[in-house]
Amino acid sequence: MSPAPPIPATESVDLLVVGAGAAGSVVAASAARQGKQVLVLEAGPPRELSDLISSQIWARRLKWSGGPVEEDGNLKVGHNFNAGWGTGGSALHQYAVWPRLHAGDFKLHSNHGRGLDWPLSYDDLRPWYDKIQAEVGLSGDAAAEKWRPPGDAYPLPALPVFRQGEVIARGFAERGLGTAPIPLAITSQAFKGRPPCLFDGWCDAGCPIGALANPLVTYLAWARGAGAQVRNHATVARVLHDAAGRRVTGVVYFDEQGERHEVRARAVVLAAFAVQTARLLLASTSERYPAGLANRNDLVGRYLMTHPANSVYGLFLDETEPHFGPTGGQLICQDHYDDKSAVKGAFGSYQWLIANAMKPNDLVGIANTRPDIYGSELAPFMQRAARHMGNMVCVGEDIARPENRVTLTARRDRFGVPLALASHSVTAETDAMARQAVAEGLAIFKAAGATEAWAGPRFGMHIMGGTVMGEDPAHSVVDSYGRCHDLDNLYVAGSGVFASSGAVNPTFTIHALARRTAEHLLQAL
């Protein structure tokens, strides 16, 4: 493999990628390794491992700080918390929980008459999951995950379970439920030059040692090593197309000083995360496409999804050492995942992520688990909770519905691009599923010996959809490879193409799909 030649001053490249997060990095690495000239435009600032300061306060720099996103609906997608800002995108502050979607998640409409079907099956995606986990180095115990779809065993053994995990696992066992180590994109042993995890619980602030597989130590590093360029503070304002409207020709972007630039490309991949990718397509209007690119059927922005999530907290007599271990948790339970209609009136899968590392402050820190405690009562609570708290989070399934969508507002960013409104609500069936899960969680904590147990408010975890994939151009934006139905060389990578949410963290699937997209587009590049 020889590094790609430098990009000439004419600013014409083989492949232009919008967004330096997980999906964009995977595509860029594949293309650069084949000697293609690759340019990645990233709206946020550069990030290096040395920027990943161990502090929940400083960690907020890694979250979205671009054009403001308005939100409404009965379950907001939580854009600013879920989205990243800068090189690495949200994958820089991801928790590295990497379970696979289940086979049934791909056939939701066929099997249940709800939501959408994917244009590919689990069996189609399985080889790409296997390929990614071998490249990244997942840690886990495949045999212990009795619910796991078929796949290669993990390349690394599971991370250890600490006191918090042991204590809460008692409750699952008491109620006849199984647990297994979470499959994590975190090294339990040295792997490809990356050191093993130290279990310090700072995943959310970014992992500067590279034990957690963020793009700076995986695909983006490999892309750069093969000659790909990353240009920061480069806000893409529109995608350009040819006169026939069948091919894109490049993009317009603005630099930090507000200067306009144009880059031509043989292919363009939009990997700017679900909301911003939809926003960019909608904003790329032309005479040929007055409603935006890839939007002939008014589908761009629709089917926006977020996992309805609830945390359950408890205080135990045991010492739980809640500050230890991965932020994403130590154990997972997907019992009953495949029975989406288990409870009358409710619908959807869910999983439990158990024993997440907790720090004292921040939105998901110890202090904010009980906002009703303040004044002189707070310090005793904090002292007790810092040693005896346990927690877990239920990740529930959302249903893709057309009314949940990204639209443009009348407001514009400093480059003149309309801002996004993300509207999202859950149905009564989803609400019932989430309520039932919370009740189960509280019962599990009581069974584990919690002296007090309570649930936090529901929140939107992860963002998916908005540019969904499908077989029929009348009902989807892209095909199974992420290629826009309307434009031969415009691709979308990332969670925006998901046709269903399942109830698992999306980052592994994002990587697998992006790897598949890259292999496909490179055949024609």
**461 binds another protein, rule: CB under 8 A:** no
Of residues 179 through 198, those in contact with another protein by CB under 8 A are 198
Cα→Cα distances 391→164, 186, 398, 439, Å = 8, 20, 22, 14
Shortest reach from residue 366's CB to another protein, in Å:
8
Q: How far apart are CA 28 and CA 60, in angstroms?
A: 26
Pick between residue 210 and residue 250 the one whose CB is nearest to another protein: 210
Shortest distance, CB of residue 126 to another protein, whole angstroms?
A: 35
Q: How far apart (Å, rounded) are the C-alpha atoms in residues 503 and 334?
A: 9
C-beta closer to another protein: residue 33 or 279: 279
C-alpha–C-alpha distance, residues 320 and 5, integer Å: 54
> Using CB under 8 A, which residues numbered 73 to 132 contact another protein?
76, 78, 80-81, 85
Contact window for another protein (CB under 8 A) among 181-189, 329-337, 378-386, 487-495: 378-386
Out of 134, 143, 379, 439, point to the residue binding another protein (CB under 8 A). Answer: 379
Minimal distance, residue 523 CB to another protein, in Å = 39
* Distance, CA of 425 to CA of 448 (rounded, Å): 33
- Give least dist CB 115 to another protein, A: 26
Q: What is the DSSP string of 72-138?
A: ESSS---HHHHSB-STTGGGGS---B-PPPPGGGGBHHHHHSSS-B-SS-HHHHHHHHHHHHHHHT-
**Eight-class DSSP state of 21:** S
**C-alpha distances in angstroms, 262 versus 39, 269, 273, 287, 404?**
12, 16, 22, 19, 33
Q: Are 110 and 119 in contact (CB under 8 A)?
A: no
Mask of contacts with another protein, 353-372, x by CB under 8 A? ------xxxxx-xxxx--xx
Are the C-beta atoms of 271 and 42 separated by less than 8 Å? no
One of 190, 286, 374, 474 touching another protein (CB under 8 A)? 374
Nearer to another protein, 290 or 375 (CB): 375
Length of the chain: 525
List 12, 34, 54, 425, residue binding another protein (CB under 8 A): 54
Q: Kindly tell me which of 45 and 402 has the beta carbon lying closer to another protein.
A: 45
What would the two tokens of residue 242 be? 């040819």
Q: Which of residues 10-49 bind another protein (CB under 8 A)?
A: 45
Asked whether the beta carbons of 442 and 455 are under 8 A apart, the reply is yes
Nearer to another protein, 205 or 346 (CB): 205
Beta bridge partners of 452: 315
Report the C-alpha gap between 462 and 309 in whole angstroms: 10
Radius of gyration of the chain (CA): 22
Instruction: State how far the Cα of 24 lies from the Cα of 487, in Å rounded to an integer.
Output: 19
Our CB check for another protein shows the closer of 78 and 396 to be 78
Which range, of 130-138, 207-215, 470-478, 482-490, touches another protein by CB under 8 A? 207-215
How many residues sit in the footprint of another protein (CB under 8 A)?
A: 50
| Closest to 499 (Cα-Cα) out of 299, 345, 335 | 299
Supply the minimum distance, in Å, between the C-beta of residue 390 and another protein: 15
Site map 56..75 versus another protein, x via CB under 8 A: xxx-xx-xxxx-x--x----
Residue 207 sits at φ, ψ, to 5 deg, of -110, 100
Tell me how far apart the alpha carbons of residues 95 and 80 are, in angstroms, rounded to a whole number: 16
Of 115-123, 174-182, 272-280, 381-389, which segment contacts another protein by CB under 8 A?
Answer: 381-389
Single residue of 130, 141, 200, 335 touching another protein by CB under 8 A: 200
* Residue 330 Cβ vs another protein, minimum distance, rounded to whole Å: 16
Q: Which of 88, 208, 308, 460 binds another protein (CB under 8 A)?
A: 208
The phi and psi torsions of 63 (rounded to 5 degrees) equal: -95, 160
Handedness of CA 470, 472, 478, 479 (dihedral sign): positive
- Locate 177 and state its tokens: 């439920």
Strand partners, 1: none
Query: What's the closest the beta carbon of residue 369 comes to another protein, in angstroms?
Result: 11
Q: Which of residues 227-266 bind another protein (CB under 8 A)?
A: none
Nearer to another protein, 165 or 292 (CB): 165
Piece in contact with another protein (CB under 8 A), picked from 200-208, 332-340, 346-354, 491-499: 200-208
Task: Pick left, alpha or beta for residue 219 (phi over 0 → left; psi -120 to 50 → alpha; otherwise beta).
Answer: alpha
Identity of the residue, 4 or 364, whose beta carbon is nearer to another protein in the bound complex? 364
- Binder of another protein out of 50, 113, 193, 344 (CB under 8 A): 50
Which is closer to another protein, CB of 45 or CB of 178? Answer: 45
In the list 19, 84, 137, 201, the residue contacting another protein (rule: CB under 8 A) is 201
Residue type present at position 421: L
311: phi then psi, degrees, rounded to nearest 5: -95, 145
Q: Which of 103, 144, 209, 522 binds another protein (CB under 8 A)?
A: 209
**How far is the CA of 89 from the CAs of 92, 277, 321, 441, 492, in angstroms?**
6, 13, 30, 32, 16
Question: Per DSSP, what are the bridge partners of residue 332?
Answer: 180, 353
Minimum distance of another protein from residue 58's CB (angstroms):
6
In the complex, the residues that contact another protein under the rule CB under 8 A are 45, 50, 52-58, 60-61, 63-66, 68, 71, 76, 78, 80-81, 85, 198, 200-202, 207-209, 323, 359-363, 365-368, 371-372, 374-376, 378-379, 382-383, 386-387
